[in-house]
Structure 1
Amino acid sequence: MKRTARIAAMGVIAALALTACGDREEDANDDSSPSSAESSPTEETSATQAAEQFPDFKACMVSDSGGFDDKSFNQTSHLGLENAAANYGIQTAEAESTDPSQFEDNIQSLVDEGCNQITTVGFLLGDATEAAAKKAKDVDFAIVDFAYEKPTPNLKGLTFNTAEPSFLAGYLAAAESESGIVGTFGGLNIPTVTIFMTGFYNGVQHYNEETGEQVEVLGWDPAKEEGSFTEDFENQNLGEDLAKQMIGQGADVIFPVAGPAGLGGLKAAQDADAWGIWVDTDGCQSAAEYCDSLLTSVVKGMDVAVEQAILDSASGNFTNEVYSGTLENGGVSLAPLSDEVDEETAAKIEELKAGIIDGSITVE
C-alpha cells in the first residue's frame, strides 16, 4: 500500500470531533498529551459551580498496571485529575501500579493519606475498589471502565460505549482495506477490551452487507468470544508479534486494543506500510510517531468523565449513578480521519454516526 505523507492531527479539544473532510490541522503547541471532547458527563453543574475553587479538597488516583504514561487509558484518565487541579484548585495525590497485586495497598495508602475522592483506573481494579469503598464510607470513589449492579452510595462507575465508535472504525477499515483482510487483537479477554473488538467486527460486517464485499476479520470471533490476545498490557514486543502474524496472513489494517502493548501493533503496521487504528486517545497526539500510519482512533473521554466526577464530589453533587459515555453525549468519539480517506467514505462515516445516535443503526 503506497501512501503520501499526511498532516498530523494536533488539535486538543476540537481534534476529537469526527470531521467530514478528514483533514488534520497542525497545532504548534501540541505536547502529545491525550485529551477528549468538551462535553461533560452531567449537565447539573452550573457555570457558577464550575468557577468555584476547592483548595481544601483532595482528589487522588490509582493507575492500572500500565502506569500513567501508557499513551492510553491511564494517561487520559490522569489528565482528568490534572485538569481538576488546574481548574478548581484541588489538592491531588496518586499511586502508580506496576502489578495487580498492588491495587489494594495503593488504594488504602490514598485513603490513609486523607483523600476525599479516589478514582481508580481500569476494569481490573473493580473488586479492590468496591472493597475499599465499603470500608472508607466517607470517601467518594469513581472507577473508570467498571460498573456495579448495586454500587455502594459512595462508588460511581464511569463507563464508555466504545462499541459505537469502534463500529465506525470497523466500517472505515473495511472500506480502506485493499487486501480484503483486517485484524484486531486485545490485551486480555475482558469486557472493556472486547467491546472495542466486537464493535469493530460488526462495523466490518455492516460494510460487507451494504457493499456485497467479503472483508475478513482476523483476531476476534464475537459469537465464540475467542480471539487473539497478548495476555499483557505492557509488552510491546508481544503486540508487534501478533500484528506481524496478521499482516503475514494478509491484513492491511490493524486495530490493537492492548494499551501500551498495542503500540507494538502500530509499529508492525507502520513497518509493513499497513494502516493502524489506535484506541482510548487520539493516536496522533499520544503516539505521534505513528500518526502517518493511522486511519483514525477510537477515543474515550475519560479525562472529562474523571474531572466531572471529582467536581461533583468536591461540590457536594456526587451520586453513585453510573455514567455511560456515548456518541450522542460526546463521551466517546472517532478522531479525525486520515486525509487519505476520500470525501465519500468520510461522509459515509458521518452518516453512520448519525444513524447510531438517532437509533436507526443498532450497535451490539
Structure 2
Amino acid sequence: MTISTPKKLAGITAAAGLIIALAGCGSAPDASNTGTAGAGGAVDGFKPCMVSDAGGFDDKSFNQLGYEGLEKAAGELGVDFKAVESSSESDYAPNLQSLVDDGCKLIITVGFALAAAAGESAAANPEIEYVSIDDMVDNDFDGKTDQPNIKPIIFDTAQAAFMAGYASASYSTAKKVGTFGGMNFPTVSIFMDGFKQGVEYWNKEKSDNVQVIGWDGTDGVFTGGFEANQDAINAAQGIVDQGVDVLLPVGGPIYQSAASVIRSSGREIALIGVDADVFETDPSVGDLLLTSIRKLIDVGVEDAVMAAGQGNFDPTPFIGTLENEGVGLAPFHDFASKVSPDLQGELDKIKAGIIDGSITVKSYLAG
C-alpha cells in the first residue's frame, strides 16, 4: 500500500452561495500542511485531518473538492492540517489510525467506501470528532448514524441528475444517451437514477422516445472500481458503440477514460461530469462537457471544519438538495450555443417543481 503526500491543488474554485450546515499499512509519512495566515480563532490544539478514498486528492472530483474545503478552512483558522491518501480499501483503517495517533481532533473521511472504517474509528475514539462525506455511517442499518461523534454530509444528487437527464435528452439527436458507474453503490446509482428519471420526464413532456443505455433502474454497466483504467475504457466503449451521443460516467476519475473513448470515436458525443464542475477542475475535457452534476463538497467541508475549529461541532446530518443549494447543475459553458434556447427556462421550471414537490424525484434518500 502507498500513502502519498497530497499534491498541492491549484485552481481552487470559490463556490457561490451559503449551503451546508449539516450536512494503511505501516506508518503514514508526514503529509502535514500549514494553514496560511488567517484570522485564527481556533480552539487550542485543533488539528483537522482527512482520509481520501482510492481516487486520491487529484481526482478532479469529490476527493479534490474535500481537500480544497479542508485547506481553505485551515487557512482561515490559521491551523495545521494533515491529509493522507488511500490506494485501496485495505488502507482505510490504518490511515485513520495514523491520524488518531497524530493527534487529529477532527477527521474527515471522503467517500462512502470509508463508512465501515470510520464507524469503527469513531467508536474507539469518542473524544475525536468525525465528518463523513457521502455516507450516513449507518453500518447496522437502523436508520441512524452509528456514533454521536460523526457528522454525515450527504447529497440527494438525483435531483440535479434529473435536470442533467432532461438536458441530455433535449440535446440528443441520436435519441440514445448512456451512463455507467464505478460500482453499484447507492451514492453512485443515485446519479444514474436521477439521470434516467430526467430522460423519462423529457419523453413524457415531449412525447419523445430517448433511450437510456447502461442503467435500467436496478442494474447496469459498472467498471468494478474508481480508476481511469482499461476497465473504464471498456465500459465507455461498450456504451459508445451502441450509438449514444451523451455519456454520463459516475465515479471520480473514470470520466477521463470516457473522454478518451469519445475522442477516439470520431463522433460528436457530449460528456457529463459529476461532483465538481469538471469544466473548471479539468479544462482538458472542457470542450466535451455538456454540463456537470455538482455536489458542493468543498463548501460543506469548509463549513464543518470551521464550526469544529471554533468549538461548535454539530453532528446533525446535512442532506444537500436543490433547495439548499447543496447540489446543482453546472453551466453549459462551451455548449451554451449548442443547446436549445428554451432549455434553460425549462430547467428553471423543473428545478422549481422539484423544490416545491410538484415534480417527484425518487432516490434512496427521498424514497
TM (norm. structure 2) is: 0.85
Which ranges of structure 1 fall in alignment gaps of 5 or more residues?
Answer: 1-29, 44-49
Q: Does residue 226 of structure 1 match 2:219?
A: yes
- CA offsets per residue over residues 8-52 of structure 1, 9 Å max, x none? xxxxxxxxxxxxxxxxxxxxxx95445534323129xxxxxx965
Q: Are the structure 2 counterparts of residues 41 and 182 from structure 1 closer, same or farther at C-alpha, using a change threshold of 3 Å?
A: same
State the partner residue of 2:298: 303
By how many angstroms is 1:285 displaced? 1.1
SS at match of 2:253: helix
Please, which moves more after superposition, 88-97 or 194-203?
A: 88-97
RMSD, matched Cα? 1.8
Equivalent runs, 1:218-257 vs 2, <5 Å: 218-222=213-217, 225-257=218-250
AA aligned to 1:327 is: L
SS at match of 1:232: coil
CA distance in 2, matches of 1:296, 1:34: 16
AA aligned to 2:270 is: W
Maintained 8 Å contact 2:39/2:78:
no
Higher RCO (C-alpha 8 Å, min separation 6): 1
Please, which moves more after superposition, 123-132 or 331-340?
A: 331-340
Number of corresponding residues: 327
State the partner residue of 1:110: 99
Equivalent runs, 1:155-304 vs 2, <5 Å: 155-222=150-217, 225-271=218-264, 272-304=267-299
AA aligned to 1:252 is: D
SS at match of 2:342: helix
SS at match of 1:93: strand
CA distance in 1, matches of 2:11, 2:291: 16
Maintained 8 Å contact 2:61/2:253:
yes
Maintained 8 Å contact 1:31/1:285:
no
By how many angstroms is 1:350 displaced? 1.3
CA distance in 1, matches of 2:85, 2:153: 19
State the partner residue of 2:53: 64
By how many angstroms is 1:68 displaced? 0.5
Q: Does residue 53 of structure 1 match 2:41?
A: yes
TM (norm. structure 1) is: 0.86
Maintained 8 Å contact 1:38/1:304:
no
By how many angstroms is 1:316 displaced? 2.1
SS at match of 2:53: coil
Maintained 8 Å contact 2:56/2:85:
yes
Equivalent runs, 1:300-339 vs 2, <5 Å: 300-337=295-332, 338-339=335-336
State the partner residue of 1:40: 19
Maintained 8 Å contact 1:178/1:252:
yes
